Chain A
């Protein structure tokens, strides 16, 4: 009846997807957040709004556009063609691309806020001490913005774990490749295998609670550590 070994592959796949997505988002999101925080360009809020779109859009909108963009007539198909494929839909790589868009605001926003929070002063001081911009970014800005990075990474990871609609639309339910946790739960519910659904859903519930609690405690501790 209840196959515990069947429960593991979707969990592992989900953790892999979330980990890779989080690393990519920290790499991509940091320069975006930096630019949004420091730039004086008038249209920067337009860029900020684009980054924040997934907060508002239903995953079906993103899923629909991704399905077309990843397909043989879109850029995804072109990229897949370089590696002998014809579509990035139904692939792990396709899910990573979708997740990066989907979780982007949850990483960029906290980092941007953190960059903005310490103001111009520390960087000006660094400049008068003859620190090159690149230097002061790594030795002044990043350490000062650490709480933002922690919050962004945790939220980005957790939000990717919780992703469902986009994956359902571009995944194709392939075990070990695109059948992530949320999709596995959906399928268990649909096929009335509620014992499995309960285990996975309960696990996610505990996970989500632990993530949020940890983050709140972390923030409190960091607030107390610094004057």
Chain B
């Protein structure tokens, strides 16, 4: 008798939880009903290009009336989603390898692929006097160095390439922490949890203060970033129009503002 009551109570917490889920579901059904409609274009964007994509997207919407809907993530993450038929019509990667692979696997249209930007990495710290060139890395007077996951994020791979070119990989390895993408990497540095980190130039170009080192280009290969029209976007006029817009003068101005090379 007593046991039965106890059991009932143990499971009551789950009934309470179910009720909360129901409430959450009701609250969420609002935004979900507000889905995409004709004239919208769904675009997967590598995290380093977040700010630039937002500005280019706003200009595109002002010029054409079509609304771009962005999803930001690491290039690897977005690519994995595209292999599983994610609803993206355009893929703005942070490398050339994934768009090429998407074309090879029939997930994207080969003739649509082009380099929309070339990105650079910067060693950045929120602290004013910390970063003073490669000597900072050699001295190693810090506890945590943030980079993006080199397996999924090309900016992380570029950071590893630069560290290896300096011959410091073994020495710095115990201090490295990885962000899931370059946006999280910057967040680690911005919150001060890591004293410094390799971030995208575009992320810090408009930030005053801190200390930084523009990693010289003989230490890594500036990151050529390719755009491609996915199979999902093959029949979308808006998606094609966005890719044209991405090569145009307005987009070029935004890219320059964020420190990107203009690409093809």
Taking beta carbons and an 8 Å cutoff, which residues of A are in contact with B?
55-56, 67-68, 70-73, 77, 85-87, 89-90, 105, 109-110, 113-114, 116-118, 147-148, 151, 168-169, 172-174, 186-187, 189-192, 219, 222-223, 226-227
The 4 A-B pairs of least Cβ separation, nearest first, read A172-B177, A117-B6, A113-B9, A173-B178
Q: Is the CB of B177 within 8 A of A173?
A: yes
**Most chain B C-beta atoms within 10 Å of own C-beta, residue among A90, A116, A148, A227:** A90
Interface 0/1 of B45-67, CB less than 8 Å to A: 00000000000000000000000
Interface 0/1 of B176-207, CB less than 8 Å to A: 11111000100110011111000000000000
Inside 8 A of A168's CB, which chain B residues have their CB? 180
Q: Is the CB of B180 within 8 A of A110?
A: no
**Contact check: which of B143, B149, B194 meets A173 at CB < 8 Å?**
B149
Q: Is the CB of A174 within 8 A of B177?
A: yes
Inside 8 A of A56's CB, which chain B residues have their CB? 20, 24
Report the separation of the CA atoms of residues A116 and B6 in the bound assembly, to the nearest whole angstrom.
Answer: 8
Report the separation of the CA atoms of residues A192 and B194 in the bound assembly, to the nearest whole angstrom.
Answer: 28
Contact A90 B5, CB 8 Å, known A109-B13, A172-B188, A190-B76: no
**Beta-carbon nearest neighbor of A117 in chain B:** B6
Inside 8 A of B146's CB, which chain A residues have their CB? 172
17 A-B contacts (beta carbon < 8 Å): A67-B191, A68-B191, A86-B143, A87-B144, A89-B193, A116-B9, A117-B6, A147-B3, A148-B10, A151-B10, A169-B184, A172-B178, A173-B180, A187-B151, A190-B149, A192-B76, A226-B2
Contact A189 B80, CB 8 Å, known A113-B13, A172-B179, A173-B178: yes
Report the separation of the CA atoms of residues A173 and B187 in the bound assembly, to the nearest whole angstrom.
Answer: 14
Interface 0/1 of B151-167, CB less than 8 Å to A: 11000000000000000
- Inter-chain CB contacts under 8 Å: number: 102
Inside 8 A of A227's CB, which chain B residues have their CB? 1
Contact A117 B193, CB 8 Å, known A85-B143, A86-B143, A172-B146: no
Report the separation of the CA atoms of residues A94 and B9 in the bound assembly, to the nearest whole angstrom.
Answer: 33
**Which residues of B106-146 are within 8 A (CB) of A?**
143-144, 146
**Residue B7, interface by CB 8 Å:** yes
Report the separation of the CA atoms of residues A186 and B73 in the bound assembly, to the nearest whole angstrom.
Answer: 13
With A70-B193, A117-B6 given, can you name 13 additional A-B contacts, CB distance below 8 Å?
A: A72-B192, A72-B193, A86-B195, A89-B191, A90-B177, A118-B6, A172-B146, A173-B177, A173-B178, A187-B152, A190-B149, A219-B7, A226-B3
Q: Is the CB of A190 within 8 A of B13?
A: no
Q: Is the CB of B10 within 8 A of A219?
A: yes
The secondary structure that dominates the A interface is: helix
**Most chain A C-beta atoms within 10 Å of own C-beta, residue among B9, B146, B187:** B9
Q: Is the CB of A90 within 8 A of B80?
A: no
Closest Cβ–Cβ distance, residue B186 to chain A (whole Å): 13
Q: Is the CB of B20 within 8 A of A55?
A: yes
**Contact check: which of A116, A190, A191, A223 meets B7 at CB < 8 Å?**
A223
Q: Is the CB of B3 within 8 A of A73?
A: no
Q: Is the CB of A147 within 8 A of B80?
A: no
Q: Is the CB of B152 within 8 A of A191?
A: yes
Inside 8 A of B218's CB, which chain A residues have their CB? none
**Beta-carbon nearest neighbor of B101 in chain A:** A192
Report the separation of the CA atoms of residues A82 and B160 in the bound assembly, to the nearest whole angstrom.
Answer: 32
Inside 8 A of B193's CB, which chain A residues have their CB? 67, 70-72, 87, 89-90
Q: Is the CB of A191 within 8 A of B151?
A: yes
Contact A117 B5, CB 8 Å, known A173-B180, A190-B80: yes
Q: Is the CB of B144 within 8 A of A223?
A: no
Closest Cβ–Cβ distance, residue A14 to chain B (whole Å): 18
Q: Is the CB of B20 within 8 A of A174?
A: no
**Residue B77, interface by CB 8 Å:** yes
Contact A174 B13, CB 8 Å, known A86-B143, A87-B192, A190-B77: no
Inside 8 A of B144's CB, which chain A residues have their CB? 87, 90, 172
Closest Cβ–Cβ distance, residue A117 to chain B (whole Å): 4
**Beta-carbon nearest neighbor of B3 in chain A:** A223
Report the separation of the CA atoms of residues A187 and B80 in the bound assembly, to the nearest whole angstrom.
Answer: 11
Contact A118 B2, CB 8 Å, known A56-B20, A110-B10, A173-B149: yes
Report the separation of the CA atoms of residues A169 and B191 in the bound assembly, to the nearest whole angstrom.
Answer: 12
Inside 8 A of B194's CB, which chain A residues have their CB? 87, 90, 172
